[in-house]
Amino acid sequence: MCGIFFCVHHEKNLSPSTDPEVPSFEDICGALRTVNAQRGPDAQRNVSLSIPVTPSPSNDTSSPAVVHLEFFSSELRLRGTAPIVQPHESNNNILCWNGEVFEGLDINPDENDGAVLFQELCKLETPSEVATLFASIEGPYAFVFFHGASQHLFFGRDPLGRRSLLIHRPTSLQPYLLLSSATCGPSPGYEFEELSTELLFYIDFSCFVDEACLSTLPRHDIESTIPDLFAIPSSVNTVLPSDDFPELASLDVIPPHLSQAVDDLIYQLDRSTRLRVRDIPSIDSDVTNPSKVAILFSGGIDCTVLTYLAHRNIPLDEPIDLLNVAFENPRKLQSQNSEHAKRKKSGKSEQPRRPVYMVPDRISGLEELEELRRLCPGRQWNFVEIDIPYNESQAARPVIEALMFPSKTVMDLSLAMALYFASRGVGQVRRQKDSESEPYASPARVILSGLGADELLGGYSRHRTAFTHGWKSLVDELQLEIDRIPTRNLGRDDRIISSHGRETRYPFLSLSVVNFLASLPVHFKLDPRLETGLGDKMLLRLAARKLGLVEASQRKKRAMQFGSYSARMHGEKKGDVPLE
């Protein structure tokens, strides 16, 4: 995980504003460098470049104009054995890289993927070759690359938008172009938006005139006879089941027609998880035998399957951290107290009040911890109980809102709050079920997330709603799910989690897994005719049961903000309402 900040400007456009509320350009750049440095605590570096460009016809001077480029990167070293300092620089080529290459390039365990990618980029000559190279690699990424020979600047994000990159386009009041992995929240000094993943972008400075004019590159060549493996996600299979297609009786027996699909799903997820947990370099730590991998762990089926697969691919003597967050939510406590008072007044037997932090995700997380201990003897599971008092969550709210910007709805805050504290990884652990808790701060720099399973395998209630109009409507909804992945939450989540110097990896959102699941007929993945907990994500439930995760295979869908009680601490505002 790394932070990227880039700017391009003309000196003549940077006269100080007369409005004292508007920060200077130098202050804007300084603040953005600082917030991006938090993402990569291992190293930071700044590279500046000045390029003579052709003045516009309206320019009354005969001397060429000069445009100034600044490249800043911070580095969180997660690949290779040698220290790396970004930006990568050679022969007037410059690369700011925030990503991981898991497939498509031959990278040895002792090599850094950014350095290998930079070598390949330096060999290219045309914009289309740059697009072709990125279409051949799989992994989350955002990048800014200056090609010295052609005077072209390229930038973009991976097709699913798994890494954040924000853009401020030049305006009359803010006449500079900015690219940044994160921001400091709203400011009159910029108007950031998420960079689209539909295309790659470039600027040709060899014919640059005054203001930055962006050109675009398609992610794949539609006329090419050679398929681009990772240019865009595959389309959903449109084959529909027959009217008399049989229903699954239970998870105990895999029907013959699903047997191969279950095995293939386990293979694909196991491979994807292995690529994301192997060869993580050791770091200096005061902790004996520190964990390298943590998992956002609610006890649900998605994260539990990934946890079990991570166990299969991580040396047995290496601990794995299970991050489980719970919030003190005044609204929930008030509701529980009211229910308790009603029962007392009516003469009904009083039920013991649930401890503040025994939220739904804590309960299911502890239950799944016991299942994992039974299935995986010898593994040290650090179940990190992350308990967040109300006052602490509210004190952190300004920081969280600044990090998640330009996302700014009630739901954004609920999810960002849960992710911020979960990924911080500070809580307590119990070495045994009934032992005393001990303070613990996770040293893991890689965090696995089960995000993507519901979108790809039909885990949301809206999939059942779509099915009321037939199988075709359900297929259409699943296609929309894939289409919406790049524009939903991934950029926001990256900005939140990376602020702690950690990197999120999504095994379900490997394009290899996405394309495999898209290729399957809809009725292989889910069956809305069946009850919740069986028909939703049916294929994954069968796979979990085959792996031995009996309890996990039956878990029902529960959103993180509701399972942790980070949602709606002050009232019942709908999730899409903008924050005040």
Phi, psi at 386, each rounded to 5°: -105, 100
Q: Is residue 64 within 8 Å of 57, Cβ to Cβ?
A: no
Average of per-residue pLDDT across 6-30: 81
Percent above pLDDT 70 for the chain: 92
10 Å CB burial of residue 173 (0-12, 13-18, 19+) is exposed
> How high is the pLDDT of residue 22?
86
Q: Is residue 325 within 8 Å of 362, Cβ to Cβ?
A: no
Percent above pLDDT 90 for the chain: 80
* Average pLDDT of the chain to the nearest whole number: 92
CATH architecture of 2-218: 4-Layer Sandwich (3.60)
Average of per-residue pLDDT across 315-324: 97
pLDDT tens readout for residues 74-93 = 999 999 988 899 999 999 99
pTM of the model: 0.94
Non-local (6+) Cβ contacts of 380 within 8 A are 319, 320
Per-domain residue ranges of the chain: 2-218, 256-454+493-509+553-563
Non-local (6+) Cβ contacts of 158 within 8 A are 99, 139, 140, 141, 142, 197
Could you tell me which of 147, 233, 232, 154 has the C-alpha nearest to residue 195?
154
Cα separation, 371 vs 304, whole angstroms: 10
Q: How confident is the model at residue 57 (pLDDT cuts 50, 70, 90)?
A: low
Angle at 396 between CA 395 and CA 402, to 5 degrees: 130
- Asked if residue 59 has pLDDT above 60, the reply is no
Q: Is residue 340 within 8 Å of 334, Cβ to Cβ?
A: no
Average of per-residue pLDDT across 277-294: 87
What's at 527, amino acid-wise? D
pLDDT tens readout for residues 130-149 = 999 999 999 999 999 999 99
Cα separation, 229 vs 233, whole angstroms: 9
10 Å CB burial of residue 313 (0-12, 13-18, 19+) is middle
> How high is the pLDDT of residue 333?
84
Q: How confident is the model at residue 56 (pLDDT cuts 50, 70, 90)?
A: low
Could you tell me which of 571, 300, 244 has the C-alpha nearest to residue 457?
300
The CATH number for 256-454+493-509+553-563, chosen from 3.30.420, 3.30.60, 3.10.350, 3.40.50, is 3.40.50
Could you tell me which of 152, 232, 168, 236 has the C-alpha nearest to residue 198?
232
3-state helix, strand, coil in the chain (%, to 5): 35, 20, 45
Could you tell me which of 379, 356, 363, 310 has the C-alpha nearest to residue 551?
363
Angle at 164 between CA 204 and CA 117, to 5 degrees: 60
Non-local (6+) Cβ contacts of 567 within 8 A are 329, 411, 414, 559, 561
> How high is the pLDDT of residue 318?
96
Does residue 2 carry a catalytic annotation? yes
